[in-house]
Chains A and B, each alone.
Chain A
């Protein structure tokens, strides 16, 4: 089954404790992206990647890191999480030829206390 998977789905952590949210897709998509969703603000892009080893900032990259060492994986790293990073996070992927037809993962709900 074609899908984007994220782990963990739910996470409660404390300020300053480094964490990684994994994202993996099995569709051989070149483009991958991370979004955060907050009430009233919609989906805001954090980082995106056009292909392996090619990443760039979205609209809200502060406090996040990403890497793309393999085509199928695109982990999101929070080196020192803060309460304002409490949010619902989505990973998405798409073919480079149909960039805007993105397939979203199920989401990761992160709470930082």
Chain B
């Protein structure tokens, strides 16, 4: 079952913060985040494997709460280069099948 991402879209001014959420009705064993810029392929950002784990990638960080079956991506002091569509992905029980959310479109304007 596809994880649910919210919001579907967000518009920011440079320097503002944003949070993108990813939740699942099924138990999550891991969550991975990708960013896809317009007209390009998705690019891996990070993976979270443990409950409550947080990770960072430049000024982008994420948390994973396996009890709540959700993950959040935090974009701090957004830059124009952050614009794109962000996808969260989860794995099935066996771990080989990947299921992505529908994506969150982020637009950062000057």
Q: B42 contacts A90, CB within 8 Å?
A: yes
Q: B41 contacts A104, CB within 8 Å?
A: yes
Q: A105 contacts B47, CB within 8 Å?
A: no
The interface bits of chain A over 7-51 (1 if a CB of B lies within 8 angstroms of the residue's CB, else 0) are 000000000000000000000000101010000111111001010
Q: B87 contacts A58, CB within 8 Å?
A: no
A41, A43, A100, A104: the one within 8 Å of B91 (CB): A100
Asked if A48 meets B2 with Cβ closer than 8 Å, knowing A42-B103, A100-B32, A104-B43, the reply is: no
Asked if A42 meets B100 with Cβ closer than 8 Å, knowing A104-B42, A107-B41, the reply is: yes
Minimum CB–CB distance for A40 against chain B, Å: 6
B47, B97, B102: the one within 8 Å of A58 (CB): B97
A102 at interface (Cβ–Cβ under 8 A)? yes
Asked if A59 meets B32 with Cβ closer than 8 Å, knowing A90-B42, A101-B44, the reply is: no
Asked if A42 meets B96 with Cβ closer than 8 Å, knowing A90-B42, A100-B47, the reply is: no
